Structure 1
């Protein structure tokens, strides 16, 4: 155990989720962990922020009646301000692709930490779907998260001293679901896929159905994603690690400069 390493652990599935406890137990072997987690499911809320939140003590730390981003701010500002790192997860379901980064509560908790200059890791697990069992009914055993928790513990313990966070502000980690006693899945450094397959269908009666076609592609193994992308790595059984930065990029554009110069002329 790294005696000097202290962690704030949060998630978006809620403090009672199986993945959260599995990750807590794995990280507890390498660091001093304080849970600051939502009271209930806050999936896909992005960086939604509350004005004030209720906080109660919990056997693992604290429970917050709020969002994952709330948990990061509340933890770093009020409950455990001296932690060395924020870890979010383990999410039940993958957070893959560039378009997901702004939606995910798990990833958003890590992004929020970056604005405090605190390194962070978001951890999620891909659960393949099939015709027999819906994906959300799977992954009820902590052992199902073994690839994700092993990778998270390794990166938490090694990444700071290796200088990883001198280049990246946070890591987005996605792992395949463990199916037996196989060896830990290998790690692959990736970039987020840019594949986007969202559709919206109007039924003509005032309802519009939004659908993400990527999940069917993943189930069928029919992915156009190239090698080196996060989604390709996970579908092929590897743990994806994407090193990312939080602030939006800013670039000067001659066309916009010209428009600004001519405004009100």
Structure 2
């Protein structure tokens, strides 16, 4: 199996490195990932600057693992598929992200955006994220869970262009209770800003790292993640509201 691995935390992120080791048990792994952290970059792409790339070696200093790209996660997948990879990958994996990408966060996530880009091109793509609590990450254990979930998703023989979002709960809370396939929660998160004044008297703001979902809704990914379940959510990138579309198409429209 040929695997393309990317992320939004950067090619040197520990989550990507440990997930790569697990994925090597499934096949060959080529990494094409941002040179620097691109968290919450969403689906932005680079148009006005060149996309510089550089080869990256494993920690042994000898084994080639892939390319670092001076760009966004979506840029990385585009370059990988159109320019860098000699063969079409069988699956695209994005992660292992430091922090969950459940609920409405999929709209901001560079991790999910990279997977979406792969699905655009007709590849099965899976985004994988690890929830955190007080910045504690057990990446090796989470990577093993991630590999098991990825294996089971691929065993379902999803059609080309299939897209999945996987979230692993905080492992320090206790044993994983199981795996649930659930819809995305669409409730807005509570966000805060820290207002400050610099030495020159200019006001500035720091976005708080705490994103809380006050309404997790029963039967959604956010609720199950909080209860200690790994969640799988099939996604699609067709944003058309088909119910409203049909309603509007029945109307008569006029220019005057």
TM-score (norm 2): 0.82
Within the candidate set 169, 177, 202, 2:170 is matched to 177
Shift of 1:29: 1.1
Task: Report what 1:66 is aligned to.
Answer: 71
SS in 1 for 2:113: helix
Q: CA deviation at 1:76?
A: 0.9
**Alignment match of 1:19 (pick from 15, 18, 34):** 15
Deviation of the 1:82 alpha carbon: 1.0
Residues 186-236 of structure 1, C-alpha deviations (whole Å, 9 max, x = no match): 211111112213457797986567668743x6xxxxx54233211111111
Matched, 1:50 2:62: no
Task: Quote the Cα distance in structure 1 between the aligned partners of 2:8 and 2:194.
Answer: 30
- Name which of structure 1's ranges 245-254 and 44-53 shifts more when overlaid on structure 2: 245-254
Residues 17 and 199 from structure 1, CA distance in 2 versus in 1: closer, same or farther, beyond 3 angstroms? closer
Q: Give the Å deviation of 1:38.
A: 0.7
* Residue 86 of structure 1: aligned partner: 92
Match of 1:109 among 109, 114, 117: 114
User: 2:218 and 2:167 mapped to 1: Cα distance?
Assistant: 15
The alignment status of 1:95 with 2:101, answered yes or no, reads yes
Kindly indicate whether the alpha-carbon contact (under 8 Å) linking 1:15 and 1:63 is maintained by their aligned counterparts in 2. Answer: yes
3-state secondary structure, aligned to 1:262: coil
1:162 aligns with 2:156: yes
Q: Following the alignment from structure 1 to structure 2, what is the Cα–Cα distance between the partners of residues 64 and 152?
A: 24
SS at match of 1:21: helix
Aligned equivalent of 1:41, options 34, 37, 45 = 37
CA apart distance, 1:168: 7.4
Q: Is there any run of 5+ residues in structure 1 with no aligned partner, and where?
A: 130-134, 218-222
Conserved? CA contact 1:147–1:239, under 8 Å:
no
Query: Among 220, 229, 234, which residue is 1:238 paired with?
Result: 229
Flag structure 2 segments of 5+ consecutive residues without an equivalent.
58-64, 197-201
Moved more, 225-234 or 165-174: 165-174
Distance 1:262 1:68, change over 3 A: same
Judged with a 3 Å threshold, the aligned counterparts in structure 2 of structure 1 residues 232 and 250 are, in CA distance, closer, same or farther, namely: closer
In the TM superposition, residue 92 of structure 1 has moved relative to its aligned partner by 0.6
SS in 1 for 2:172: coil
Is 1:148 aligned to 2:142, yes or no? yes
